[in-house]
Structures are given as C-alpha cells and as structure tokens.
Chain A
C-alpha cells in the first residue's frame, strides 16, 4: 500500500505522462484520420489510392516496429525532437488508420437518399456535408471511435518501454528503490484503468447525448 503513498510524485508524473501522450496522440489521430477518411471517399483517384495505402500499411504494422522506426530512425535524418513528440507521432499515425476506417464506414452508413435529397433541395457540397452527411455520420461513429481511443491509451504503454516518461516506466524507478514489484504493478494497472475508464465514461456521455444506432 505504501508503494503509492511514498512515491506519489513518481506515480503522478508517470500518470500525467500517460494522459498527455493519450490526449496529444488522440488529437493527432482524429485529425489525421479525418483527412485520410476524406481522401478515401474523394472522387479523385490518386487521393483514394494514397488513403487506402496509408490505412492498409499502418493497420498491418506492429506498433513496436513503428515506434522502433520513428523513435530510432527519424533522428538519422537529422530530425531531433523530444522522445515525447516522436511517441505522439508514432501513436497518432498508427491510430489514425483505424480512425479513418471508422469514419469512412460511418459516412458510408448514411443512406444515399439523404445526400440526393439534400442536393435536390439545392444545397451545395459544403452544405450537404456539414448539415446532412457529417452530423449523421458523427452519431454512428461515437462507439467505434471510443474503443479506438481506449486502445490508444493502452498502446501508449509501449512508449514507456522506449523511455518516454509515462506510467509503465515508473516500475523501473520503483524497483530500483526496492519497493514490492507486485504492488507497484497493481498501482500501474489501476492508473491505466482510470485513464481507459475516463475515456469510456466520456464516450458513454457522448453516446447517450448524440448516439444513434443505424
């Protein structure tokens, strides 16, 4: 028990690291996923090909390999950034492929008739998108995006193994200090459950507020 109380600052630092990593990577993944999804549904062929390649490759890449390539590989090109930024890049790009697929299938669940009706009312492409298609797509993608972001929070543990400050990494400090390793891991587990629980609570609220199963 006193593993936690004695080292509250170490745990707090690690916990904040995990939260920070999760939040920034989520934002990157959502933004990039949105861009890729719009590429994949675009009428322009080369953009569709690019989007498809992005998704297919990243979805089949082991995240450890991606971390390995980004954290240790990009510095070889003279790109020197804090490890945290590299970790956000790797995690965000990886997750963006899954976000893209969720968004795309959300857009595809909107019946064609909705778009046709909007256009026959004289709406422009932008209006069709922002008033008709996206609001309906948004409702159906809430649950899948939620589980993707929960997976992202869990995957952020890999960053800890690549010496980014986050929750899993705290076990090293604490075992050096001679604390009971089982209790340490128990509190690390609790920390992750808090993060994933918070994400799932947020998405439950979103789901109840706007959710709509088609």
Chain B
C-alpha cells in the first residue's frame, strides 16, 4: 500500500529500508497523536456528562422516534421533489442553451448564470420571506432553481463533449436536429454525465438541510426540538451524535453510487466517443462550479 501510494506521485521514490524504518516511526508517532486526540474528545464527552441516562432517554420514546422519522421523511420528500423538478428544469434550460434561436439561447443563459451566481440561501429566504410562500414550496423552489441551473450546464457540457464526428455522421445520414439529439448525442452524453448528475443530487440532498433555517419541519428541525427540551437536560450532543451519522451516511451512500456509476460507465464500450466524468470533489461542492462547467 505504502509503495503503491508513493509511486503514484512525483513526491517520493519507492522507499528503501532506512526510509521505511523512518516512515514506520512516523506512523507510530502519528497514530499515537491521533489516538490521543480521539481519547481527549471521548474524555471531554464523558466529563461534560453527555452519556448520562437522562440525555439519551428521549430516544427510547415512541413519540420522539416518530418525530425523528417524520423529519427524515420530510427531508427525503423535499429532496425527491426537488431532484425531479431540477432534472426537468435542467433539461429545459439545457435545450434552451443549445437552441438555434438566439433569443431563446440568451434568455436561458441569463437564467442559468443568474441562479448559479446567487447564494442558494438568499433565494430561499427571498421566496420564503418576500413572496410569503410556505416552507416546503420555498425550499423546493430554491433548490430547483439552483440545481436546475447547475444541471443545465452539466447537460450542455455533456452534449458538447460527445465527439464531433458522431454529430457530423448523424447529419450526413440525413437526420434532423431532433433526431441527432435524441438518437445520437443524448444517449451517449447521459452515460458520460450520469456521475456528475448524481454528484449534483448529493449537493441537493445536503442543501435540503437549509429548510431548517426557514422552519421547514425536516430532520434537523426534529433534532432541534428534542435538543432544546429541558426535561431531558438539553441533550444537544446526543442529538448531534444520532442525527449526523444518518445525514452523512445518506450523502455518502449517494456519493458512493456516483463513484460506482462513474467506474462502471468508464468500462462500458458504449462510452467510447465521450469522456466519462469522474465523481470528483468539485461536483460535490454546493455553489461550486462542477468540473464539467467553464471556470469562474
């Protein structure tokens, strides 16, 4: 493992016996330091009484469990609606940006650039406060506008990344633009950008937690309700310890699917004429430009 990782970069040679001994020493030291850090955190948790029964008691109650599950359900509901709508909006905007009619192209470019540049939370607050919309529609609308615009860029770059010869050959066979798109470009592009799409859906899933800030009754909101209950001695840390693994686990699962799809599509013979996206860091960043899009 060490040898393989070292050989992969320009930084080190394959270590000899002395370097290996030194690395082993560093390894032991680093492990000790990291374990000490972990121990200190656990000590701190115990010292401040985070593992007392009163603080964990609420999780035994049926009502509390249902509250948490309802919150999780609301989070997933917002995510599902927003995902479907943003895929639809993204498709629409991408078609607009690839249109042959200049006004349509300008309009969709304007929409995409505007909603990508705006902080998502500002949009959600604007819809919630200024337009006086209910929390769920406000959250979904914000997520849709933002992720739809990002996905439009992903779709467009996917279409453009199909080798030029494919399009030229299709036109040479006498296909119309719609046929070229639907029979030749889109099927290949979708395979290439599927990892990027899923990565963007991870961003959407993460951003559903913004609903907490506009009092949408999602997972974090349920956690806050339990955490601020004096009867259970304000079990804030236990709530975080229950909620974060579930939240992070869901996102990790979806990220992992993106990576798996990326590897799978890369091997597929059907992606010969197009570069498959890697499910990299950039794609997972909310507000960031996915690697498929032009730089800032």
Report A's interface with B, CB cutoff 8 A: 41, 43-48, 50, 55-57, 59-65, 68-69, 72-73, 76-78, 97-98, 101-102, 105, 107-108, 110-116, 119, 125, 128-129, 132-133, 143-144, 146-148, 150-151, 153-155, 157-158, 160-161, 168, 171, 175, 181-182, 185, 188-189, 192-193, 196, 199-200, 203-204, 207
Q: Give 18 pairs: A residue, B residue, CB < 8 Å, sorted on A.
A: A43-B19, A46-B30, A46-B31, A50-B34, A55-B281, A59-B284, A63-B209, A76-B50, A108-B8, A115-B10, A125-B12, A144-B282, A146-B296, A168-B122, A171-B125, A181-B130, A185-B129, A203-B296
Q: Which residues of chain A are near B237, meaning CB under 8 Å? A: 73, 76
When chains A and B are docked, how far (Å) is the Cα of A56 from the Cα of B284? 11
- What are the 9 tightest A-B residue pairs by CB atom distance, in nearest-first order? A115-B10, A101-B281, A151-B287, A62-B209, A60-B251, A154-B119, A64-B209, A62-B206, A161-B213
Asked if residues B248 and A68 are in contact (CB atoms below 8 Å), the reply is no
Asked if residues B209 and A65 are in contact (CB atoms below 8 Å), the reply is yes
**B102 CB-CB contact with A under 8 Å:** no
Asked if residues B27 and A45 are in contact (CB atoms below 8 Å), the reply is yes
**B169 CB-CB contact with A under 8 Å:** no
Residue of B11, B30, B48, B212 with most partner-chain A CB within 10 A: B11
When chains A and B are docked, how far (Å) is the Cα of A160 from the Cα of B281? 26
Asked if residues A73 and B236 are in contact (CB atoms below 8 Å), the reply is yes
Q: Which residues of chain B are near A102, meaning CB under 8 Å? A: 281-282
Q: Which residues of chain A are near B119, meaning CB under 8 Å? A: 153-155, 157, 168, 192
**B257 CB-CB contact with A under 8 Å:** no
Partner of A154, one of B31, B34, B120, B248: B120
When chains A and B are docked, how far (Å) is the Cα of A72 from the Cα of B44? 16
**B15 CB-CB contact with A under 8 Å:** yes
Closest CB in chain A relative to B291 CB, distance in Å:
8
Closest CB in chain B relative to A22 CB, distance in Å:
12
Partner of A43, one of B15, B129, B220, B284: B15
Asked if residues B285 and A148 are in contact (CB atoms below 8 Å), the reply is yes
Which residues of chain B from 116 to 143 have any CB-CB distance to chain A below 8 Å in the complex?
117-122, 125-126, 129-130
Q: Which residues of chain A are near B224, meaning CB under 8 Å? A: 68
Number of A-B contacts (CB under 8 A): 199
- Sample of 9 further A-B pairs with CB below 8 A, known A62-B247, A157-B121, A196-B117: A61-B206, A65-B220, A107-B10, A148-B288, A154-B118, A160-B121, A168-B121, A189-B122, A192-B118
**B268 CB-CB contact with A under 8 Å:** no
**B244 CB-CB contact with A under 8 Å:** yes
Closest to A95 in B: B285
Residues of B in contact (CB 8 Å), total: 68
A-side interface mostly: helix
Closest CB in chain B relative to A95 CB, distance in Å:
9
Closest to A207 in B: B295
Residue of B15, B207, B240 with most partner-chain A CB within 10 A: B240
When chains A and B are docked, how far (Å) is the Cα of A157 from the Cα of B9? 38
Q: Which residues of chain B are near A43, meaning CB under 8 Å? A: 2, 5-6, 12, 15, 19, 23
Q: Which residues of chain B are near A192, meaning CB under 8 Å? A: 118-119, 122
Asked if residues B120 and A112 are in contact (CB atoms below 8 Å), the reply is no
Closest CB in chain A relative to B157 CB, distance in Å:
15
Partner of A63, one of B15, B31, B118, B206: B206
Residue of A50, A76, A107, A155 with most partner-chain B CB within 10 A: A76
Asked if residues A171 and B129 are in contact (CB atoms below 8 Å), the reply is yes
Closest to A142 in B: B295
